Chains A and B, each alone.
Chain A
Amino acid sequence: MSRMRTSWIIVANIAVMAAILVFVALYSNHEKKEHYHNQVEHFVNTTIAMERVTGNYMVGEQGICDNWAKYINSRDLTLEEATDYVRATHVSESTSAHLIDAESLKGYSTRPRPNTEDGYEVSYERMDLFGDGAWIADLGEAVNITRTYTNPVNGEQSLAFCNRITVRDEESGEKKQAYLLRIVPVSNLEEKWVFPQEEYEHEEFSIIDNESNYVIKGRSFKNASFFEFYKSYNQPGIAEQQQLFADILSGTGSFTMQDSKSRECLVAHTPITSTKGWVLLSLAPVSDLKAVAENWLLIGVITFGLLLLLVMDFLYMQAINQKLQVTAREADAANKAKTDFLSTMSHDIRTPMNAIIGLTTIAEKKPDDKEAIAENLRKIRLASNHLLTLINDILDISKVESGKLNLSPVTFSIVETVQNLMNLSQPMIKEKNIDFNIRVNRMEKEYLYADQLRLNQIYINILSNAIKYTMPGGSVSVDLQEEESEKEGCVKLVYRVADTGMGMSPEFLEKMYQPFSRQTDSRVNSIQGTGLGLAITRQMVDLMEGTIECQSEVEKGTTFTITLDLPVAEKQLEEMKIEGVEVLLADDDPILLETAADTLDSLGIRADQARGGLEALEMTRQRHESGKDYDVVMLDLKMPDLDGIGTVRRIRAEVSADIPILLTSAYDWSDIEDTAKEAGVNGFIGKPLFRSRLYEKISELLGTEAKALEAEDDHSDLAGMHILIAEDNDINWEIISAMLGMYGITSERAENGRICVEKMAAAEEGQYDLIFMDIQMPEMNGLDATRNIRALENPWAAGIPIIAMTADAFSENVAECLKAGMNGHIAKPIDLKLVIKEIRRVKEEKKK
């Protein structure tokens, strides 16, 4: 069917092309005819103009002859005397005059024969020039001109303007008739009759008398008679021929004929009105009058152009059709994938929802069983978190697909980012009991300028996948390295995550970045995931103009490498140097030892390395015995021979109770915190070992050791804070106020933005410590409310910290909030830890 339609399109194209060509051919032919018609008309008009010039010339010449005749007739002159008179008044050198006795046809010439001085006699006896003389009109009545004849005096082909004159016979004294001839050589006339138009360079003219004998003969005119010439090379019927000859002699017009070279020629004819039957003829080859440009060239070019267009259109249509077919197949596949996805989503959403609803129901049935309720609530929280991740991914991929995923760069700390990465991955690592290593090498630029949320998302997605698809007992290692970037003002961050997980098949590697795709494996049926993570990650990396590479082998593991060039923020930590400090670094990971020693070296700290707890214990002992203790000893929590806590215990027991000891770990140490403190640990530092974190911790240890031991979960200092919460939803208000109440923080509600602004306008200085601001509220939204508050006259009110607390969780929403004047952003559903962190940040900034 499609092929049939294509054939019809081709046929239609060819038909249109043929129609255009026919039109062009007809039109050009019409134009050619029109042009030729105009040329013919122009040619005839030129001939008419030539006739007028000719006529005027003849009238002028005849006038001279008439004047001579008048004078001669008015005097009683003999033929010789009359000749003397004309000779005396005859100025022109090229012409002459003959005065001939009408009876004897002998007379005199005004010019002598060539090469003589007195050869003036002339005879017309042998020339049939005058006939009976009746053709010569009376004086002044007409132009009397002879045919072309041979001047008997000089042999030149000439014309003569005539008059009858009366002279006195020398012998008898009687009056007698004579002819006066003013003779003009034909060559004189030919020089005067030149076609004025340049376009008629091949055109010629002739003058014929009323018997078609040439008076003046152009080069292409043959025979002695034009009619003979015509008959020699053209064979019309006798009747047509006679009609044509009659037309030529009687009026103005044109016709075509073959000349002696078989060329088709146009002949224009017009009577010379001042003569008796003479006709001016102009002849031009028809090829000179036709359009110069051969229209076949035009038709050829158009044909070629149209054929080219046809072929190009055909090829283009084929390409488009192929693309459409591919697109249609892809659309079908995408639709199928979406259908599958929706089906999966339905399942995936219903599963945690089922858990939440079911566990809630169970908890309601056992109001007195606190232990069961606590367990149910923990499971509900897990299910809720999963559900939240699922929703976030769906929202992200919808933005990716619609092309609305934008970056919102902010200045952020890569240290915090990695710390967050560690914090978020710790529960999973802990749960799955896998070996986890994280190494950071020379992170000299801590503050970068990029979309922190998206960067987090990229790193977490890759890491969480590695953890998710690694079986218990396996290992996951993370390397983050700063390299010199080719882009000015940027650093190159290389983030590499390697796992010993199940790996991916080559087939899946080809489509792993496509949305809604998940590796199918019986072992991971239980693995929760949306199949969107990698697609989102790939899109985000592309958006940040980075690269993502993957090497994977089934059953052996996977390594993802993400390289991003990120701009360095203007804000950087002050120069961090701790000169003259010696540190012992103990870890079973030689790479970590190298990178950490390198980082410490950049701080001016000399670091000795120990490959395990026992080696560390020995080195500490040796230094102590030498009287020069290490300033700080840093011990990894997990070491094969003697773990960190064990090593601390032995140092404290066998070497010194005073040497400051830091415990390093990539794991959550909340479980071992108390034990460590009891063993004598002075502080904790999480891996990776950032330069800034090392600087801070070592500085703290070398300063006030007590500060290092501050409990991180001690939020008692927050009690008594008073927070204004702008929230239109009753349940949300209830949740947040209850959560804050747990920390002794009081709160006050504003039901919408307008009320919030009013409360702030009316508040006394210090009445509120900060505002948690919902964004979407009736009457006035959170953004407008913030702007109004920032515009308040009271400096305290205008400067109060405002933290967005909203379900608008995208990066552009965060950017919009900050732009409106807010100081932070917490996405709903709220994470209490984040809320407390923000409150603490505000409190600390307030202190400063």
Chain B
Amino acid sequence: MKRLLCTALSVLLALSMTAGLPGAQADAAGGFQPRLDTDTECEITVIGSYSNFEALEAEFDSFNEFYPDVELNYVKPDDYNNLLGTVLEGKNAPNIFFAFPWMIGNEKYESVMAHMEDLSDAGLGLDLECIRPSLLNYDAQGKLSMVPIFARNYGMLVNNDLFKKEGLSVPGTWDELLDVCETFRSRGYDSPMMGYSKDSSGCLMNILVYPEVLAAVNGNPEALKAANEMAPEGGACMRGGLEAMMQLIENGYIDLEKCGEISDNYTEVILRFFEGDVPMMICGGDTVSGTGKRESQSAAFSKAPFTYSFCPVPLSEAGGYFVDSPSVEFAVNRDCEDLDMTNEFMRFLISREELNKMASVKRLVTPTTDLSFDAVYEPFGQVPTERVLSPEVIGITDPLAVQVRNASFLVGTGEISIDEAVSDYGAFTD
């Protein structure tokens, strides 16, 4: 209630302030209008965990059309999650940095959180209304430390041409999935479903199980509380997902041996899918973002291109879930040099147009309300509202996600049983 009140107040404040600002009027008239001296010379550095961030670099170029003398750089520090605090304390501290919801409340990131500017400040002029409210993480004081740049979801890449060739439809329910897998198997496809399985980060197991866990605790405060608090009974929420996963593996619809040949959870997953013989490739939205660029890098795909899309994995009779969660969020280092210009860049970036543009370039789900997806994401657009789950809205904490990730990986690889996973809940670590 308090959060809602703060949000409402913030929105009202933002509306009242921007109504009197010439820049806001100009914004309303369409397009970004600079508020600072366009001849300003300074340097803005963004750091993050992406190796490449072309979509952001394209935004740098766009921003330079207004402020040609502002030099913007994107840098990926080594061991980002561990060294972020050190980097923020260092001599060349960045202006903007990647932030993640799991940092909130994590003691290890207290110093990092201390550097974050309150982005709910209406004076900054960020267009927060364009972002889906479920993706904005206000704290108890109404402070918004980070804003989502991309959203994350979980699903599978589907080779539409292969389905068409085999006369099959993309499955929408659990039974349909089993039928499709069986048919593919019978037609010589050794592993109708594949995915990364070498370690827990980005593994297919978590992608299959996590949405089911969210569904299990959604609307069940007790189960959610137990799971968040690492109580032993909290592990029960994993059972449904784990069982479905194991059924797929045990039926031979997911050949872990073949999946083990995929050496990383990003490029190799994509290139393997582009080989053209995998009907369904289980992966996260982050991986899908790399598909467009790698089409030309894949000799097989270049030789025999096909159409593909990204769909929810239907592990229940009612179908799959759309887990709407922030993938990457931006925080502003309030102690950085040139804070005014940094906020000006954020004002430029946090707008429906720029966020959508960046999502389109990156091929990720936009955090804005219009959900104008890439054609690849079209199936997610058809997911009914009641099956859209937001971990932040539900109240999922990072430790819960860690337990699910590690438990599902261990179960999937056969190291532990489902019962062990449920009973040992709270004991799993990365």
Inter-chain contact B89/A224, CB cutoff 8 Å = no
- For B75-89 the 0/1 string (1 means CB < 8 A from A) is 111110011001111
* CB-CB under 8 A for A126 and B61, given A187-B92, A224-B76: no
- Per the CB 8 Å criterion, the residue count for chain B at the interface is 28
In the bound complex, how far is the Cα of B300 from the Cα of A238, in angstroms? Answer: 12
- Pick from B83, B92, B296, B299: contact of A152, CB below 8 A: B83
Determine the distance from Cα of A113 to Cα of B89 in the docked complex, in whole angstroms.
9
Docked-complex contact A152 and B79, CB < 8 angstroms: yes
Bound complex: CA A154 to CA B78 (Å): 12
Q: Does A260 touch B at the CB level, under 8 Å?
A: yes
Which residues of chain A are near B83, meaning CB under 8 Å? Answer: 150, 152, 155
Q: Is B91 an interface residue (CB 8 A)?
A: yes
Chain B hits for A155, CB < 8 A: 77, 83, 86-90, 92-93
B141 at the interface (CB under 8 A from A): no
Collect the chain A residues with CB atoms within 8 Å of residue B90's CB: 114, 151, 154-156
Name A818-835 residues within 8 Å CB distance of B. Answer: none
- Distance between B266 CB and nearest chain A CB, rounded to angstroms: 13
Q: How far apart are the CA atoms of A153 and B302 in the complex, in Å? A: 45
- Smallest CB-CB separation from B52: which chain A residue? A223
Whether, in the assembled complex, B73 has its beta carbon less than 8 Å from a beta carbon of chain A, the answer is: yes
Could you tell me which residues of chain B, from 303 to 348, have a CB within 8 Å of some CB in chain A?
none
Is residue A149 within 8 Å, beta carbon to beta carbon, of the partner chain?
A: yes
Q: Is the CB of A150 within 8 A of B77?
A: yes
Bound complex: CA of A231 vs CA of B82, how far in Å? 31
Judge whether B54 is part of the interface by a CB distance below 8 angstroms: yes
Q: Give CA–CA (A114, B58) in the complex, Å.
A: 34
A487 adjacent to chain B (CB < 8 Å):
no
Decide yes or no whether B293 CB sits under 8 A from chain A. yes
Contact B91 A156 (CB under 8 A): yes
Given contacts A150-B78, A150-B79, A154-B90, is CB(A225)–CB(B297) below 8 Å?
no
A129 to B83, CA, bound (A): 15
Knowing A219-B73, A232-B293, say if A157 contacts B54 (CB, 8 Å). no
Q: Is the CB of A260 within 8 A of B58?
A: yes
| Given known contacts A156-B91, A261-B61, A231 and B296 CB-to-CB distance under 8 angstroms | yes
Chain A nearest CB from B85 CB (Å) reads: 8
Q: How far in angstroms is the closest Cβ of chain B from A184?
A: 13
Q: Which of A155, A157, A217 has the most chain B CB atoms inside 10 A of its CB?
A: A155
Chain B nearest CB from A121 CB (Å) reads: 13
Minimum Cβ distance to chain A for residue B90 (Å):
3
* Cα distance, A222 to B78, chains bound together (Å): 18
Nearest chain A CB to B366 CB, angstrom units = 21
- Report if A2 contacts B (CB, 8 A): no
- C-beta contact mask, A271-314 vs B, less than 8 Å → 1, else 0? 00000000000000000000000000000000000000000000
Cβ-closest chain B residue relative to A114:
B89
- Contact assessment for B52 and A127 in the assembled complex, using a CB-CB cutoff below 8 Å: no
Q: In whole Å, how far is A92's beta carbon from the nearest beta carbon of chain B?
A: 14
Which residues of chain B have C-beta atoms less than 8 A from A392's C-beta?
A: none
Q: Is A654's CB within 8 Å of the partner chain B?
A: no
In whole Å, how far is B306's beta carbon from the nearest beta carbon of chain A? 19
Instruction: Assess the A152–B86 pair: CB atoms within 8 A.
Output: yes
| Contact between A222 and B86, CB atoms less than 8 A apart | no
In angstroms, Cα B92 to Cα A749, docked, is 130
Q: Flag whether A525 is at the interface (Cβ < 8 A).
A: no
Chain A residues within 8 Å of B51, by CB: 224-225
CA distance A224 to B74 in the complex (A): 9
A window 212-232: CB within 8 A of B: 217, 219, 222-225, 228, 231-232
Residues of B within 8 A of A157 (CB): 75, 77, 92
* A7 on the B face (CB < 8 A): no
**Partner among B61, B73, B297, B302 whose Cβ is within 8 Å of the Cβ of A217:** B73
For residue A115, CB closer than 8 A to chain B, the reply is yes
A380 to B410, CA, bound (A): 159
Closest B residue by C-beta to A157: B75
Closest residue of chain A to B56, judged by CB? Answer: A222
Task: Out of B57, B77, B79, B299, name the residue touching A222 (CB < 8 Å).
Answer: B57
Q: Which residue of B lies closest to A228 (CB)?
A: B52
Question: Is B71's CB within 8 Å of the partner chain A?
Answer: yes
Contacts of B296 in A (CB 8 A): 231, 235
List chain A residues, Cβ under 8 A from B57.
Answer: 222-223, 260
Query: What is the bound-complex CA distance between A149 and B79, given in angstroms?
Result: 9
Most buried by A among B58, B86, B93: B86
Assess the A113–B52 pair: CB atoms within 8 A: no
Closest residue of chain A to B57 (Cβ to Cβ) is A222
| CB-CB under 8 A for A225 and B92, given A126-B79, A150-B87, A261-B61 | no
Q: A156 to B79, alpha carbons, bound, how many Å?
A: 13
A232 smallest CB distance to B (angstroms)? 6
| Contact, CB under 8 Å: B52 / A238 | no
Question: Are the CB atoms of B297 and A231 closer together than 8 Å?
Answer: yes
Q: Judging by beta carbons under 8 Å apart, are A126 and B86 in contact?
A: no
CB within 8 Å of A: which of B335-369? none
Q: What residues of B have a CB within 8 angstroms of the CB of A231 in the complex?
A: 293, 296-297
A195 to B: closest C-beta gap in Å: 16
Residues of B within 8 A of A222 (CB): 54, 57
Q: In the complex, what residues of A have CB within 8 A of residue B52's CB?
A: 223-225, 228
- Within the complex, which residue of A113, A217, A223, A224 is in contact with B86, where a contact is CB–CB below 8 Å? A113
B-chain residues with CB within 8 Å of residue A228 when the two chains form the complex: 52
Give the complex CA separation of A232 and B7 in angstroms: 40
List the B side residues contacting A126 at CB < 8 Å.
78-79, 82
- Closest chain-A Cβ to B190's Cβ sits at a distance in Å of 29
Q: Chain A residues with Cβ under 8 A from B88's Cβ?
A: 155
Against A, the Cβ 8 Å flags (1 = close, 0 = not) of B33-75 are: 0000000000000000001101001100100000000010101
A367 to B287 alpha-carbon distance, docked (Å)? 151
A127: which B residues are within 8 A, CB to CB? 78-79
Q: Taking the nearest CB of chain B, how far is it from the CB of A683, in angstroms?
A: 112
* Chain A residue at minimum C-beta to C-beta distance from B89: A114
B88-144 interface (Cβ within 8 A of A) = 88-93
Name the residue on A nearest B65 (C-beta).
A261
Across-interface contacts of A115 in B (CB, < 8 A): 89
Measured CA separation A115–B89 after assembly (Å): 8
Of B76, B78, B82, B297, most buried by chain A (CB within 10 Å of CB) is: B78
Encode A149-177 as 1/0 by CB contact (under 8 A) with B. Answer: 11111111100000000000000000000
Give bound CA distance, A228 to B87, whole Å: 26
Query: Which residues 127-157 of A sit at the B interface, judged by CB distance below 8 A?
Result: 127, 129, 149-157
Write the chain B residue with the least CB distance to A127: B78
Bits for A178-206, please: 1 = Cβ < 8 Å to B, else 0.
00000001010000000000000000000
Most buried by A among B58, B76, B92, B299: B92
- Tell me, in angstroms, the Cα distance from A187 to B87 when the chains sit together: 14
A152 to B85, CA, bound (A): 10
- Contacts of B79 on A, CB cut-off 8 Å? 126-127, 150, 152
A-B contact pairs, 8 of them (CB 8 A): A114-B86, A150-B87, A155-B83, A155-B90, A156-B87, A217-B73, A222-B57, A228-B52
A-B CB proximity, top 4 nearest: A155-B87, A155-B90, A150-B77, A155-B86
Contacts A152-B78, A225-B52 supplied; 18 other A-B pairs, CB < 8 Å:
A115-B89, A126-B82, A151-B90, A154-B89, A154-B90, A155-B88, A155-B92, A157-B75, A157-B77, A223-B54, A224-B76, A228-B52, A235-B296, A238-B299, A260-B54, A260-B58, A260-B61, A261-B61
Interface residues of B (CB under 8 A from A): 51-52, 54, 57-58, 61, 71, 73, 75-79, 82-83, 86-93, 293, 296-297, 299, 302
Interface residues of chain A, those whose CB is within 8 Å of chain B, are: 113-115, 126-127, 129, 149-157, 185, 187, 217, 219, 222-225, 228, 231-232, 235, 238, 260-261
